[in-house]
């Protein structure tokens, strides 16, 4: 039984590793050679974190960036003892940190559910660019595209009412309604849980 279980875990890990490399190909718009694929697997290790694990805490200096293969990570600030949720990262989203600045974090990153991620550091990215220079421009373009998406999301959030924000989640990220506790979702919308309940009831009556 143990042997079968280990074989199953290895097979599952192999699939995840392939997904990781495929994701990098999609992100960089580059078709990888066998040598490049092997090197990427080496520099972008995969780890699974249990629900409730903190990837980063306020005051810590981050030297790591994550790409979510499976799971959900919440970003939040702790203000006067109250958690203020600012984002939920799910599959095919990157948690980008400016690791070169070595700044202390002002927020927390916590796994809402068991989460599998691809991990990289500035040091490993530099190694990749040195060995395969063509990656640098493409990776930087990919990062810029991600940042543009987050800026658009922020602009939409700022200019929307709580009800409009909730409707936007219904349209674009409905999975969050099943994956995230209501009090965290309410915090993300900038309201109290009871206000979220009223919004839901109002929308259901329409």
Taking residues 136-141, report their average pLDDT: 78
Render pLDDT for 54-100 as a digit per residue (tens, 0 to 9): 999 999 988 888 999 999 999 999 999 999 999 999 998 889 776 55
- Quick: pLDDT tens for 167-182: 999 999 999 999 999 9
Domains of the chain, with CATH numbers?
A: 2-159 (2.60.120.10)
CA dihedral 143, 147, 152, 155 (to 10 degrees): 180
Beta carbons of 104 and 61 less than 8 angstroms apart: yes
* β-strand partners of 83: 78
């Amino acid at each position: 039984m143990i042997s079968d279980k280990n074989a199953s875990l290895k097979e599952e890990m192999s699939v995840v590793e392939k997904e990781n490399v495929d994701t990098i190909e999609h992100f960089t718009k580059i078709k990888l050679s066998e040598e490049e694929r092997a090197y990427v697997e080496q520099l972008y290790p995969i780890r699974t974190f249990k629900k409730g694990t903190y990837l980063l805490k306020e005051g810590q200096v981050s030297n790591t960036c994550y790409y979510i293969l499976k799971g959900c990570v919440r970003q939040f600030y702790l203000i006067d003892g109250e958690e203020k949720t600012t984002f939920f990262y799910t599959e095919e989203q990157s948690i980008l940190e400016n690791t070169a600045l070595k700044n202390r974090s002002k927020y927390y990153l916590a796994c809402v559910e068991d989460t599998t991620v691809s991990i990289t550091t500035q040091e490993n990215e530099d190694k990749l660019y040195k060995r395969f220079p063509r990656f640098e421009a493409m990776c930087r373009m990919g990062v810029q595209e991600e940042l543009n998406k987050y800026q658009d999301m922020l602009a939409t959030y700022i200019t929307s009412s709580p009800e409009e924000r909730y409707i936007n989640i219904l349209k674009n990220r409905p999975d969050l309604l099943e994956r995230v506790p209501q009090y965290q979702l309410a915090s993300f919308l900038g309201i109290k849980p009871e206000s979220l309940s009223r919004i839901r009831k109002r929308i259901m009556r329409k």
